[in-house]
Amino acid sequence: MPMSLNIKEIRKDFPILERETQSGVRLTYLDSTATSQKPLQVIEAMNDYYRRSNANIHRGVHTLAEEATAMYEGAREKIAKFINASSPREIIYTRNTTESINLVAYSWARANLKQGDLVILTEMEHHSNLVPWHMLQAERGIELDFIPVTDDGLLDLEVYKALLKRTPKLVSFTHMSNVLGTINPAGEIIRLGHEVGAIMLVDGAQSVPHLKVDVQALDADFYAFSAHKMCGPTGIGALHGKSALLEAMPPFMGGGDMIKEVKLRSFRPNTLPHKFEAGTPAIAEAVGFGVAVDYLTKIGMDDIAAHEHEITSYALERLEEIPGVKLFGPSADKKGGVAAFTLEGVHPHDVAQILDRDGIAVRAGHHCAQPLHEKFSIPATSRASFYLYSTKEEVDLLVNGLYKVKEMFG
Query: DSSP assignment of 269-315, as one string?
Result: EPPTTGGG--SS--HHHHHHHHHHHHHHHHH-HHHHHHHHHHHHHHH
Report pLDDT for 4: 67
d(CA 277, CA 250): 12
Q: Is the pTM of this model over 0.85?
A: yes
8 A C-beta contact, residue 185 and residue 192: no
Report pLDDT for 1: 41
Report pLDDT for 2: 42
d(CA 144, CA 74): 39
Angstrom distances, CA of residue 337 to CA of 174, 329, 390: 15, 11, 10
Tens digit of pLDDT per residue, the chain (410 long)?
444 689 999 999 999 999 998 888 999 999 999 999 999 999 999 999 999 999 999 988 999 999 999 999 999 999 999 999 999 999 999 999 999 999 999 999 999 999 999 999 999 999 999 999 999 999 999 999 999 999 999 999 999 999 999 999 999 999 999 999 999 999 999 999 999 999 999 999 999 999 999 999 999 999 999 999 999 999 999 999 999 999 999 999 999 999 999 999 999 999 999 999 999 999 999 999 999 999 999 999 999 999 999 999 999 999 999 999 999 999 999 999 999 999 999 999 999 999 999 999 999 999 999 999 999 999 999 999 999 999 999 999 999 999 999 999 97
Which residues, at least 6 apart from 148, have a Cβ–Cβ distance to it below 8 Å?
Answer: 122, 123, 155, 156, 159
Which residues, at least 6 apart from 313, have a Cβ–Cβ distance to it below 8 Å?
Answer: 332
8 A C-beta contact, residue 120 and residue 168: yes
8 A C-beta contact, residue 163 and residue 157: no
Angstrom distances, CA of residue 93 to CA of 90, 99, 194, 399: 10, 10, 26, 40
Domains of the chain, CATH where assigned = 7-30+300-408 (3.90.1150.10), 43-298 (3.40.640.10)
Report pLDDT for 60: 86
Q: What pairing do the DSSP bridges indicate for beta strands 143-147 and 118-122?
A: parallel
Q: In degrees to the nearest 10, what's the CA dihedral of 253, 255, 258, 261? A: 130
Report pLDDT for 23: 81
368 is catalytic: yes
Tell me the sheet residues that pair with 343.
325, 346
The size of the chain, in residues, is 410
Find the radius of gyration of the CA atoms of the chain: 22
Identify the active-site residue in 65, 245, 368, 399: 368
Single-letter residue type at 31: D
Ramachandran angles phi, psi of 31, nearest 5°: -135, 35
Sheet of strand 222-226: strand arrangement: 91-94, 237-241, 222-226, 199-203, 170-174, 118-122, 143-147
